[in-house]
Amino acid sequence: MKNMTILFIIAALVGFTFVDAAKAADPNMPQRPQFDPNAIRGRVLVEKDAEGIVTSVKIENRRRGNWEVVLDEKGKELAQMENKIVHVIGKVEEKDGQKWVTVESFTEMKRPQRPGFDPNRPGRPQRPGGRGPGGPNGGQGE
């Protein structure tokens, strides 16, 4: 049993070594971006008053929480990206327990498309009744 454990550990180390060597050999393989404490990714949330004037802009990030945006020129420009996912670079600080970001630059993030993906191609046909076998009516029509 002891020999099997040692053999398994050696095989795992050799496997990890080959994976790292393959990553280094292929420059087209996507690399994980470096962590930047002054960069935030998230959805832009905009609040407006009754006249439609922007009163606040927030960036909603699931892991790091909500960030208030300083409403200077770039902050107001970011408000035009309402409900879009963005990558924001700027000065990050915390005041009175609230997280703030002063925007220096931002870009809209888009999901990469799968090869051969056609958004105009019709989807799968629906079952009668629109529910599968696990639905509330057992897949029977309504």
What DSSP string runs through 48-99? E-TTS-EEEEEEEETTTEEEEE--SHHHHHHGGGTT-EEEEEEEEEEETTEE
Give dist(CA 40, CA 89) in Å, integer.
7
Helices (H) and strands (E) in the chain, counts: 2, 5
- Report pLDDT digits (tens) over 88-121: 999 999 988 899 999 999 999 887 666 766 666 6
CB-CB contact of 88 with 112 (8 Å): no
- Three-state DSSP class for residue 25: helix
Secondary structure letter of residue 47 according to DSSP:
E
Domains of the chain: 39-108 (2.40.50)
pLDDT of residue 48: 93
pLDDT tens across 46-85, in order?
999 999 999 999 999 888 889 999 999 999 999 999 999 9
Examine the pLDDT at 130 and tell me if it is beyond 60.
no
Whether residue 142 has pLDDT greater than 60: no
On whether the CB atoms of residues 67 and 59 are closer than 8 A, the answer is yes
Which residue matches tokens 């994976």?
A: 19
Helix (H, G, I), strand (E, B) or coil at 2: helix
Q: In 10 A of CB 89, how many CB atoms?
A: 15
